Structure 1
Amino acid sequence: MPGAIQRAGVVAFCAEDLSDLTLEVSRDGRTFRELEPTRRQRRLPSPPGGAAGRQRRTMVEYEATVPAENHFLRLRWNGPAEVDRVELRYR
């Protein structure tokens, strides 16, 4: 690993049921504590066709500052969601 995590960002998509992801960090990979990220959501228009045609999604962005000396990030799904990307910034 390049070092301790400084910031964590996650972009996820939800269909109808909005269930927040839980972001957790750990120093040793065994004991995790929950982060309190900022959260933004935006309802997206339906795609014009294809497999996802007429299905509306909500994009949810999470951003959190990670306390010092944490090297591990864990995501917990609390309901249906599709994670698009995870961005980590290291110290």
Structure 2
Amino acid sequence: MKAYKPRNEVSYDDIRALLGVLSGEQNASKGILTTTSDFPPRLISDPFITPFLPTRLELMNGDSLQKWLGGPPEKIGFSRSDTCLYERGLGSGLN
């Protein structure tokens, strides 16, 4: 999910929408939501979302995405405009 700016977080509604798709699709075993930005800080205490973490829903923010891809943005092909989270050290590391 593209949040366009480093401090724009993915909304609870976007996360719940993915959970709705998962519950409606019988063949889907897991949803993975990645963002170049971050997720709301109290997300893991949301009573609707918490039961799905991490078995049915995996959340990967900018920092986690970079680690998963194998390194700093310069080494994995991100453009200069995509590196703002890396350079500023933003992100909570939820995954």
Query: TM exceeds 0.5?
Result: no
Structure holding more helix per residue: 2
TM-score by length of 2: 0.26
Larger radius of gyration: 1
Name the one with the larger strand percent.
1
TM-score (norm 1): 0.27
